[in-house]
Amino acid sequence: MATKYAQVSGDWSGNIWYDAESGGNQVPPPAEGDNAVINAGVEVSLDNESGVIVVGDDTGTALDVKGTLRRTSTATSSLTLRFKGHFYVRDGGKVEIGTTTNPISKDYPVVIELNYSSSMGDEKYSWIVESGGEVVLQGEPYTISTTLSADVASGATEIYVNDLTGWRVGDDIVLEESEDSSWVYSTYKADSTTISAIDSGNKKITLSNATSYSHRQDWYVFNLSCAITVQSYQEGYRCKFILYEGSSADIDYVRFNYFGDDSYFWQTIDGRSVYTRYGGISIRDVNCHLDNIVCYKGEYTFISCLVEGHSFTNWYLFNAEGYLKKRNCSLTNLFLIAIGYPGAGFYCSGVIGTSLTNVRHNGSAGGSFEPPQYLTNFKGYYNCKNSWSGERTTCGCWAEGQEFYLSNVEMKYNQHGIQVGYGTRVFVDNVLIEETSKPITVRAGGRIIGGNVAELDVYFSNYYYPFSGVVISSNGKNKVPYGYYGNSLSWAVLGKDGNGNCLVIDPTSPDNYMYLFGEKTGDVSFTSFPVNSGKTIILSFWVKVSTSGFDGDLQIAAEGCGINYSWTSVDLTGADSDWVQRSFTLGTTTDKGFVRLKIRAKDGATVSGDIYLDDFAITES
C-alpha cells in the first residue's frame, strides 16, 4: 500500500509517521500492507503498544531500522511484532528489547514473528542485521533447567523438581527421556507439556497433560518459556536471523522457534577444508553476546556460530542442530535434547582451540555430535534410534588428521559411543560407556589413546586396513580389538576373560592388519596415556604366548613428562601355558601431559609364536 517513515521520535502508535523520508504528509501508523522505515536519529518506542502489530506489504522489506526501535521493562502488556517481509537493521540502527539491568518480564512477553506471507515459504523473509547494526534482546533471567527430585510414573499429573526460580503457570516444559535402562531401538520418550499450577513451597508442578512415559529422579526438566521469543510465523516454514560481519548483538534468555538453513560452504581452517552450514541463526564474525538461549524445532541447521575467539554459555537445543566452527571458540553448558524426530545435533569438526564444557546429549537421530578439539564433561544418552542410526553417533571424531581431547565422558543407552575417523587421534581420560551397542569404533588409521576407560570393548571397522590403536585402561576391563558391529574377526584371539579380543603381536610380521599396538616406527609400536605431575606411574598388563617353549622377547619402554624408562624385557615365564600379569614402575612425572609407551618384540631363536597382551592398566600414586 505505502511506505511510511518515522521522522520524529515517539510511540509507534503516535503521530510520528509520514509518507516521505523528509517532509510530506503525516499518516497513520504502519499496518499490514504498509512498509516502514525508522529514520536515522529517530527513536520509536513500543512501551505503550499491546496486542499484535503487523507491518509489511509482502513484497520486500517490511521494516527498515536506521534509527532505534525500543521496548523497555516498564511495559505492562504483551506484544507481538509480525513482519510480512524482511526486517532490516541498518548501519547505525538499533533494536533494543529490554536491557541487561532492566530485562523484559515473563509476565509481559514479547514475540517477534518473521517470515509471514500470504503465500508461505521456507526462508522467504529474514531478520537481517547489517554491518554497524545492533540488536539487544534481554529477557528476564530464570532457571531454564532443573532436575526431578523424585521419580515420575507414566500417567502422572504432578512432578517435583529442585528449582522453580522464574517459572510461571502456562510455561512450556520438557521432561527428558530416562525411562529405559538399556539401549532400545524405539520411539522417543521425552514428555512435552505445560504447567497448570505451581506449589512453590513444595516445589511441585501440576501438569496440563499426564506424562506418557516414566522419568527417573535426578534427570532433567526444562522450561522453554522465555520472556522474548523470536520465531517463524508458522511452524513448518523455517526462517533466518542473520548477523553480518561488523554487526553486534547482546542476547540473553531468548527463545528461537522454527529456524533453519540448508545452504553450506567449505571453509579452510589450519590447512583443512571444513564443511560448514550458515544456519538459520547465522552469526558471522560479529561482536556477539549470546547466552541462555532456547532453540526449538529447527530444520537443517538451526544455529551456526562462525566467530573466532568468542565464548558462550547456556545453549539449549530441542530438535535443533548447531555449528561452532571457528578457532578458539568455547561454549559452556550445551544441552541437546530430542522431543521427537529429528532429534538434536552439534558439530565442531575439532577445529583448533574449540572447546565445549558440560554437554548433555539425549535422544539424537537426525543429527550426531561432532566434538570440538577439547570436550570436557560430556553425557550422552538414548542416541541413534531411527533408520539413520547406522550413520549417527553420540560422539563422532571425524576430522581427518586432527587431534581430539575428550575427558570425563559418560555414555549410556546409545547405539554408537565414540567413533574415530580416518587418520584421527583421540585422547581420552575418564570414559564410561555402558549399555551401548557399539561403544567405540576406530576406522582406518584412527587411534584412541588414553586412560581410565571403563566398561567397553573397542570395535574396529572391517571396511579398511591397516588399522592400529589400543585403549589403555586403569581398571583392566577393556578388550582390544573387537570386530565391527560386535562380530569377532577370523584372525582375532580371545582375551584373558574369554569374552573379548586381545592385542596380538606377530614378531615375524608386525605390519599385518590390526596387530599394531598404536602408531609404528620401524619395529617399534607406541601409544600414549595421560598423567598428572608428581605421580609415580605403574604399568600393568596380562601377557600370554601362543606356543609352548617360545623363546622370543617382548620389551617395553616409556618416555615423557619426566619419565625415561629404558627398554626392559618382559618376563614371559609361565606365559606359554596361561595368562600372567606383569607390572612395571615407570618412574615419577615432573609435568602433566602424555607419556609415550613403546613396545617391540623379537621372534624366538628356536621356537616361533605370537604374543598376546590384554587388560592394560595405568595407576598413579
Residue whose cell numbers read 587418520? 423
Would you place residue 520 in the very low, low, confident or very high pLDDT band (cuts 50, 70, 90)?
low
For residue 344, what pLDDT is reported? 73
d(CA 131, CA 90): 7
For residue 206, what pLDDT is reported? 98
Q: How far apart are the first and last CA of the chain?
A: 79
Residues sharing a CB contact under 8 Å with residue 246, sequence separation 6 or more, in sequence order: 130, 131, 132, 285, 286
201 burial type by CB count under 10 A (0-12 exposed, 13-18 middle, 19+ buried): exposed
290: DSSP letter: E
> CA–CA distance from 356 to each of 414, 557, 564, 598 (Å)?
21, 34, 34, 32
d(CA 15, CA 455): 71
Best CA proximity match to 170, nearest among 197, 195, 153:
195
CA 528 to chain centroid:
26
Which domains are seen in the chain, by residue range?
A: 509-620 (2.60.120.260)
Best CA proximity match to 339, nearest among 366, 300, 305, 303:
366
Check pLDDT > 70 for residue 388: no
Reported in sequence order, the residue ranges of 200-309 that DSSP labels E, i.e. its strands, are 204-207, 220-223, 228-232, 240-243, 248-257, 264-269, 272-277, 281-284, 287-296, 303-306
Would you place residue 404 in the very low, low, confident or very high pLDDT band (cuts 50, 70, 90)?
confident
SS3 string, 400-412, reads CCCEEEEEEEEEE
Give the model confidence (pLDDT) of 195-244 as tens digits. 999 999 999 999 999 999 999 999 999 999 999 999 999 999 999 999 98
Cβ atoms within 10 Å, residue 445? 20
For residue 258, what pLDDT is reported? 93
Would you place residue 173 in the very low, low, confident or very high pLDDT band (cuts 50, 70, 90)?
very high
CA 204 to chain centroid:
31
For residue 305, what pLDDT is reported? 81
Residues sharing a CB contact under 8 Å with residue 521, sequence separation 6 or more, in sequence order: none
- Mean pLDDT along residues 508-532: 56
For residue 506, what pLDDT is reported? 60
Q: Which residue has the higher pLDDT, 539 or 227?
A: 227
Q: Which three cell numbers stand for residue 508?
A: 615375524
Best CA proximity match to 275, nearest among 348, 218, 181:
348
Best CA proximity match to 230, nearest among 256, 258, 250:
256
For residue 18, what pLDDT is reported? 97
Looking at every residue in the chain, the average pLDDT score rounds to: 82
- The predicted model scores a pTM of 0.79
d(CA 347, CA 370): 5
